[in-house]
Amino acid sequence: MASDYVLGTHQSELERLRFQHELWSPISQAAWARAGIHSGQHLLDLGAGPGFAAADLAALVGPSGRVLGLELSADYVAEAQALARRSGIDQLEVRQHDLLKDPWPQEQFDLAWCRWLAMFLPDLEPLLAGLGQCIRPGGQVLFHEYVHWDTFALHPGAEAVARFGQACQRSFRAAGGDPDVNRRLPSLLTARGWSIEELRPLPVLGPQGSMAAQWLERFVAVYGLQLQRLGLWSAADQTAALGQIQAAASDPGSFWVGPTVLELRARRLGP
């Protein structure tokens, strides 16, 4: 994994992540409830980012529990640590950590939460090995990763937006990632002695003005600039995509569909 995220860690991306967390919070909370997260548990948040989800997890486990967030970006670690201090969440610790290079923690956890991290890893073996080391027997891992990125679209017929989606996937693959990584993870986990407890598609879609639409529109606006820096998108492409988004706003029947996420929950078996 490169030292800089493909998506960047600039202020506009941080604000996009804040809005994204607000949109996805009810979905995440429902997933955590299905996993049985409760007071006193020790949780691992992999790719904790600026700590929004980690703080919510810390509230669930309470003062008698513990949440350890591991995050590559020094900027996001600082954001997460500041959030923990402001909120008085003593049970939350966030460390800078490279999952592909650094030693994993020498402690056991009840559950690991991993959202939109595996898709960026050029090598999944360190992640799978680390989970086997850190999750206690009987403990769980909960992934929210994409399984079908091609569902990303603005309907009807926003061709430039569709091309934007394809450029996104090219950027992820160029950095060594796999935008549809959750097609592979269940098989990789079962080969290592994990039992699949849940496979649940999590589509996000909505009409103009909905939070889903705003989330995806922001993604085009913010990541379109990054794609231009990467040489995978042009200013003309961006103008066309934003023009189609503006045109769709006058069509009350238009709607957005995001890339399909798969909820994957697995339990570690054996000693």
Tell me if residue 37 falls in helix, strand or coil. coil
Query: Which pLDDT band, with edges at 50, 70 and 90, does 10 fall under?
Result: low
Q: How far apart are CA 267 and CA 258, in angstroms?
A: 28
As a whole number, mean pLDDT of residues 105-125 equals 97
As a whole number, mean pLDDT of residues 38-56 equals 96
Query: Which pLDDT band, with edges at 50, 70 and 90, does 3 fall under?
Result: very low
Q: Spell out the alpha helix ranges (H) of 35-158.
A: 52-61, 74-87, 125-134
As a whole number, mean pLDDT of residues 107-111 equals 97
Residue owning tokens 């929004």? 52
State yes or no: cis peptide before 186, omega within 30 of 0. Answer: no
As a whole number, mean pLDDT of residues 193-211 equals 96
Reported residue count of the chain is 271
Query: Residue 9: pLDDT above 60?
Result: no
As a whole number, mean pLDDT of residues 134-153 equals 98
Query: Residue 17: pLDDT above 90?
Result: no
As a whole number, mean pLDDT of residues 195-209 equals 97
Mean pLDDT of the chain: 94
Q: What is the pLDDT of residues 206-263, one digit of tens each?
A: 999 999 999 999 999 989 999 999 999 999 999 999 999 999 999 999 999 999 999 9
Residue 16's Cα: distance from chain center in Å? 13
Determine which helix (DSSP H) or strand (DSSP E) holds 202, and give its type and residue range.
Answer: strand 194-202
Rg (the chain; Cα; Å): 19
Query: Residue 146: pLDDT above 70?
Result: yes
Query: Residue 6: pLDDT above 50?
Result: no
What percentage of residues in the chain have a pLDDT greater than 70?
96
Which pLDDT score, from 0 to 100, does residue 4 have?
Answer: 54
Contact 31, 140 (CB under 8 A): no
Which pLDDT score, from 0 to 100, does residue 5 have?
Answer: 52
As a whole number, mean pLDDT of residues 96-117 equals 96
Tell me if residue 64 falls in helix, strand or coil. coil
As a whole number, mean pLDDT of residues 56-69 equals 98
DSSP states of 87-119 as a string?
Answer: HT-TTEEEEE--TTTSPPPSS-EEEEEEES-GG
Closest CA to 208 of 259, 251, 271, 265: 251
Q: How far apart are CA 199 and CA 232, in angstroms?
A: 33
Which pLDDT score, from 0 to 100, does residue 85 have?
Answer: 94
Contact 69, 93 (CB under 8 A): yes
Closest CA to 91 of 43, 53, 37: 43
